[in-house]
Amino acid sequence: MKQISPKNLFYFIVVLFPAIVLVSILLYTKSQGHVRINLALLGFGISFVTSALIFILVNVFVLKKINALLDTVKKYRASSDNPSSNPNYSSNEIHNLDLEINAWADDRKEEIERLKKLEVYRKEFLGNVSHELKTPIFNIQGYVLTLLDGGLEDPSINRNYLERAEKSIDRMITIVDDLEAISQLETGELQIEPERFDIFTLAKDVADAQEMKATAKGIILTLPEDSKPIFVFADRFRIRQVLVNLIVNSVKYGKEYGETKIRFYDVGENVMVEIADNGIGIEKEHLPRLFERFYRVDKSRSREQGGTGLGLAIVKHIIEAHNQSINVMSTEGAGTVFSFSLKKA
Ligand code: ADP
């Protein structure tokens, strides 16, 4: 039920109270004639002035305070991270205050839920980071201890163990580099510096650089034969990283003697870049979470291939920082297609 506004209530009292006084005097006074009417009018006048004065005082002190409170709550709500839209205000100040406080409480509730989620995310992230770093650290410790325990003098293992320790150090560097990239992207510290460049040549450079790894697995990396420049407006350095991560993945999770095709499509204002492999593919249920930090379909396979589980999260951040989008389509056992858009230049 809509409450009566304080103002309406006061108007009502200002009229009702003097009216009651007037009627009471007329009914119950013993005086007659003019005296009775004068008395009734005097009573009406005094009670009208009194209630009007009370009304003015209440208006000045109480309603002003309510309005000030309403303004304060409005300001607090507006300054929160994601304020909801304004409720439907009426002419009733108390009702408005009630609406505003409820809207504020709802916003707070959402904020608390968001912070709780962030806290879970943070804990998970820390757990993942320490888990990822533990393996290479323990490996290095194992090799060093064996070398100190006499292995250093044993020519059959000393060089081999040092080389293995170096591999673990390389892995730690990769993890730390990826973590640095992701934290810079997530805090918005990393500014995108767009420029006009030819994405075809960049993709060809990246594919050439990965050719040795691909050939070791019998995988062919192909680009369109017409090899004409395709100009885009983007951060060249960051897009190189995107291409490296996607092409490296297509080889890591590609099948032996398979193929990775890099293709370009003209889509209105954008160019669509596609990296398609005919590798192991990804089960449908994993696709929605694929771009999350540390998400892997097959953990041991990823680690065995030197993966950190951060590559696709980095790729998504970079593409989104360009206000563009990335998609994945995959069929288990048949292959995977990643496609992202870039602004034409
Ligand atoms: P990782 O370092 O483990 O490769 P990414 O973030 O690059 O991490 O990829 C996340 C997961 O997505 C991988 O562990 C892998 O399971 C899956 N994945 C990525 N690219 C492909 C692909 N081309 N084919 C099949 N699975 C892929």
Domain boundaries, the chain: 6-108, 117-187, 195-343
Look at residues 292, 285, 288, 339 and name the one whose alpha carbon lies nearest to residue 312: 292
Please work out, in degrees rounded to the nearest 5, the angle formed at the alpha carbon of residue 332 by the alpha carbons of 284 and 121: 45
Residue 302 near ligand 1, beta carbon < 6 Å:
yes
The four Cα atoms 128, 134, 135, 138 give a dihedral, to 10 degrees, of: -170
Q: How many C-beta neighbours within 10 Å does residue 72 have?
A: 11
Q: What residues form DSSP beta bridges with 196?
A: 233
Residue 249 CA to ligand 1 centre (angstroms): 6
Tokens for 105? Answer: 């409480």
Which region, left, alpha or beta, applies to residue 268 given φ > 0 means left and ψ of -120 to 50 means alpha? Answer: left
pLDDT at residue 6, as a whole number: 67
Residue ID of nearest Cα to ligand 1 atom 20: 249
pLDDT (tens, 9 = 90+) of the chain, 345 residues, equals 456 676 677 778 788 888 998 899 888 888 778 888 888 899 999 998 998 888 888 778 888 888 888 888 888 888 877 777 778 888 788 888 888 898 888 888 988 998 998 898 889 889 989 988 999 999 999 999 999 999 999 999 999 999 999 999 999 999 999 999 888 888 877 789 999 999 999 999 999 999 999 999 999 999 999 889 999 999 999 999 999 999 999 999 999 999 999 999 999 999 999 999 999 999 999 999 999 988 999 888 888 888 889 999 999 999 999 999 999 999 999 999 999 999 999
pLDDT at residue 327, as a whole number: 97
90 three-state secondary structure = coil
Residue ID of nearest Cα to ligand 1 atom 12: 296
Q: How many C-beta neighbours within 10 Å does residue 180 have?
A: 11
Tokens for 211? Answer: 């050719």
Alpha helices in the chain (DSSP H): 6-28, 33-58, 64-78, 93-148, 158-187, 199-209, 211-216, 236-252, 299-304, 311-321
How far is the C-alpha of 313 from the C-alpha of 289, rounded, in Å? 10
149-158: long-range contacts, CB 8 A cutoff, minimum separation 24: none
Ligand 1: which of 302, 303, 316, 337 to mutate, most ligand atoms within 8 Å of CB?
302
pTM for this entry:
0.70
Residue 296 near ligand 1, beta carbon < 6 Å:
yes
CATH architecture of 117-187: Orthogonal Bundle (1.10)
Residue 278 near ligand 1, beta carbon < 6 Å:
no
Q: Which atom of ligand 1 is nearest to the CA of 245?
A: 7
Residue ID of nearest Cα to ligand 1 atom 19: 249
CATH top class, domain 195-343? alpha beta
